[in-house]
Amino acid sequence: MRWLKISFERQFKILYIPAAAVIATSSVLAANYSIFRTTLLFVVIAIMAVIHWDLRDGGMLSKLVYKLGGSFEQRNLITISAAFLLVTLLLALTESFNSPIILIYCIPIIYASIRGGHRLSIPFGMSLTATTWIYFYVNSFIRDEKMAEINLYLALFVGISTATGFIAVRLRRAAVDLSALYETGRSLSSTLDSGEILKLAMNIILMDIKPDIAAIFIMKDKNILKIKESHGFEGDVSQWEVNIGRGLIGKAAERSESILVSTKNRRWRLNYEPDVDSKVAVPIIFKKSIIGMLLVGRKYDHSISFENLRFLEALASQMAISLQNAELYQKTKEWASLDGMTAVYNFRYFSERIEMEWNRAIRYEKPLSMIMIDLDHFKSINDTYGHVGGDKVLRDFAGLLKKYTRDTDIVARYGGEEFVVVLPETHYDDAYIVAEKLRSSTEDTSFKVEDSEEPINITISLGISNYPTTAFTKDDLIYQSDQALYQAKVKRNTLSSPLDQETTFDLTKEFS
């Protein structure tokens, strides 16, 4: 009883089953049909009420089909056929085929459109039209009955089945696109990693457009786009670069508007195979600036629709916002990890990275080296040229460190005039060579400060440590390079390591 009450309340809210049943019953009683015909009409009304019960959940007939193991397509065919059959029974029992009430067939036609679009509405509509025409054609000979409006009704059936079918497909497609764009926006905004954003965008393109080729380009510098994600191309396209203004992609970027090519055209031929007949280039724009391009292609002519184009443009708009947020986050993260004066990493970032690099070296059994650096007699520079001049020297020296180290090396300001360089996957001998290069390059460089034409020459002292040559823990690695630095500062303008003969400090130290 509770289920019946809940179900009835649901139906009553939408006023579908109760209203329809009351109207149908009142019509039957008012018509003064025979008892037999009235009984049959009540049976038909009852069947319609039962199979449409819980309509918002699909209806009882749909549930029965699924319960018996039927597929989605079988459910559609059975429910639509049942709708046409019930309408036919109603018309037959009420002898309404020769009246305008025959237009009630429009209801199952629209129902077919909702269920399966034009793929179901047109076949059912055409079948209905053919059957109805045959019925009236036969009646015109047997009973000599004619209905002047029948041709109009038949044309109306055909028109409604075609129009509503295609409208339903468009509406369903628009709903899917809106849902996809909503999910796209939510997915893209869930990450602040530009690489993840590009991968997500490519997956969305592959799922929605189903292209033969697809690519995402990101602006490398002012006039060059570089490919970052690709699908369907033959061979390696990882080095593919496009100049702004050249080819399909470059022209679309130059114009800041999409270019859709629907037929094979030599002018818009791509540099990589396969070269497809239909292709579209869509710019990724943020605040009137091009930050990237989308390229999508299909093999056959006119196989990319304007709906596809609108979807890609909406996706590009979502990507632009997400990529810009990711870039802003990355810049903020970098600013938080950089030393404000020298623009190299700060001590906090160094502490995080040395932990990561140490764990990585242990896990993969790779060497790890560290160089601790101190500027000799730096106090005299501050005393002579002031702190402004000293800061200028520190900035220029930090630039020199970055110049003579790899991109994978971590250059950080350890404190004051002390710097540290972490060299992943670098053996002791190689670290020694790098340290000597830094020392000699500093000695040979003339530094300049404002308000002084006299060049400033400085020297540095360096301490080296290495895993696994000298250190066996992360703390020992830092301790040894620090102690080696103090040992080097005794002589100045030199470098020292735990392996030097004059080493006087313990190689290990207890850390609490």
Q: Which of 95, 196, 313, 417 is catalytic?
A: 417
pLDDT at 432: 94
Largest CA distance in the chain: 125
Helix (H, G, I), strand (E, B) or coil at 374: strand
Q: Give the domain-ending residue among 334, 364, 398.
A: 334
Are residue 482 and residue 377 in the same domain, yes or no? yes
Shortest CA distance to 495 belongs to which of 456, 458, 457, 465? Answer: 465
Shortest CA distance to 150 belongs to which of 135, 160, 165? Answer: 135
Q: Give the domain-ending residue among 270, 304, 334.
A: 334
181 within domain boundaries: no
pLDDT at 157: 83
- pLDDT tens figures, 312-348: 998 898 888 888 888 888 888 778 889 989 999 999 9
Cα three-residue angle 349-350-354, rounded to 5 degrees? 120
| 87: amino acid identity, one letter | V
| 203: amino acid identity, one letter | N
Phi/psi at 337 (5° precision): -100, 0
Kind of pairing, strands 224-231 and 278-286? unpaired
**Residue 268 DSSP class:** G
pLDDT at 175: 73
Domain total of the chain: 3
- Stretch (H or E) spanning 369: strand 368-375
Rounded to whole angstroms, the Cα distance separating 131 from 504 reads: 107
Alpha helices in 338-427 (DSSP H): 347-364, 378-403
pLDDT at 511: 44
Residue 388 contacts by C-beta under 8 Å, 6 or more apart in sequence?
449, 450
Q: Could you write out the DSSP letters of every residue in 153-188?
A: HHHHHHHHHHHHHHHHHHHHHHHHHHHHHHHHHHHH
Are residue 206 and residue 239 in the same domain, yes or no? yes
Q: Which two tokens stand for residue 452?
A: 């002084």
**Cα dihedral sign, 94-99-104-106:** positive
Q: Give the domain-ending residue among 334, 360, 378.
A: 334
9 within domain boundaries: yes
- Stretch (H or E) spanning 470: none
Instruction: Give the CATH number of the domain where residue 438 resides.
Output: 3.30.70.270
Are residue 207 and residue 267 in the same domain, yes or no? yes
**Residue 445 DSSP class:** P
445 within domain boundaries: yes
Range of the domain at 368: 347-496
On average, the pLDDT of the chain sits at 82
Helix (H, G, I), strand (E, B) or coil at 295: strand
Q: Which two tokens stand for residue 40?
A: 């049959």
457 within domain boundaries: yes
Instruction: Tell me whether residue 417 is one of the annotated catalytic residues.
Output: yes
Q: Which two tokens stand for residue 96?
A: 């309404």
pTM above 0.75, yes or no: no
- Positions of the chain with pLDDT lower than 50, given as ranges: 3, 12-13, 511-512
Are residue 317 and residue 252 in the same domain, yes or no? yes
507 within domain boundaries: no
Are residue 404 and residue 469 in the same domain, yes or no? yes
Are residue 383 and residue 353 in the same domain, yes or no? yes
Rounded to whole angstroms, the Cα distance separating 175 from 167 reads: 12
Shortest CA distance to 441 belongs to which of 402, 400, 408, 476? Answer: 400
Burial of 152 (0-12, 13-18, 19+ CB in 10 A): exposed
pLDDT at 235: 82
Helix (H, G, I), strand (E, B) or coil at 288: coil
- Residue 348: CB atoms within 10 A of its CB come to 12
505 within domain boundaries: no
Are residue 160 and residue 13 in the same domain, yes or no? yes
Shortest CA distance to 178 belongs to which of 344, 69, 307, 292? Answer: 307
Q: Which two tokens stand for residue 120?
A: 């179901």
118 within domain boundaries: yes
- Residue 219: CB atoms within 10 A of its CB come to 17
Angle subtended by helix axes 118-142 and 72-93, to nearest 10: 30
Given the structure tokens 């990724």, which residue do they identify?
A: 284
Are residue 155 and residue 32 in the same domain, yes or no? yes
Give the per-residue SS3 of 203-217.
Answer: HHHHHHCCCCEEEEE
Shortest CA distance to 364 belongs to which of 424, 311, 314, 434? Answer: 424
Of the chain, the end-to-end C-alpha distance in Å amounts to: 72
Spacing of C-alpha 387 from chain mean position: 49
Task: Please answer whether residues 352 and 445 qualify as being in contact, where contact means their C-beta atoms are separated by less than 8 angstroms.
Answer: no
pLDDT at 371: 96
116 within domain boundaries: yes
Are residue 164 and residue 286 in the same domain, yes or no? no
Residue 215 contacts by C-beta under 8 Å, 6 or more apart in sequence?
227, 229, 230, 231, 233, 237, 240, 294, 295
Phi/psi at 452 (5° precision): -150, 125
pLDDT at 370: 97
* Cα separation values, 483 from 64, 208, 352, 373, 374, Å: 82, 61, 21, 11, 12
Are residue 168 and residue 292 in the same domain, yes or no? no
Are residue 88 and residue 133 in the same domain, yes or no? yes
Are residue 309 and residue 379 in the same domain, yes or no? no
- pLDDT tens figures, 347-389: 999 999 999 999 999 999 999 999 999 999 999 998 888 888 9
Instruction: Give the CATH number of the domain where residue 324 resides.
Output: 3.30.450.40
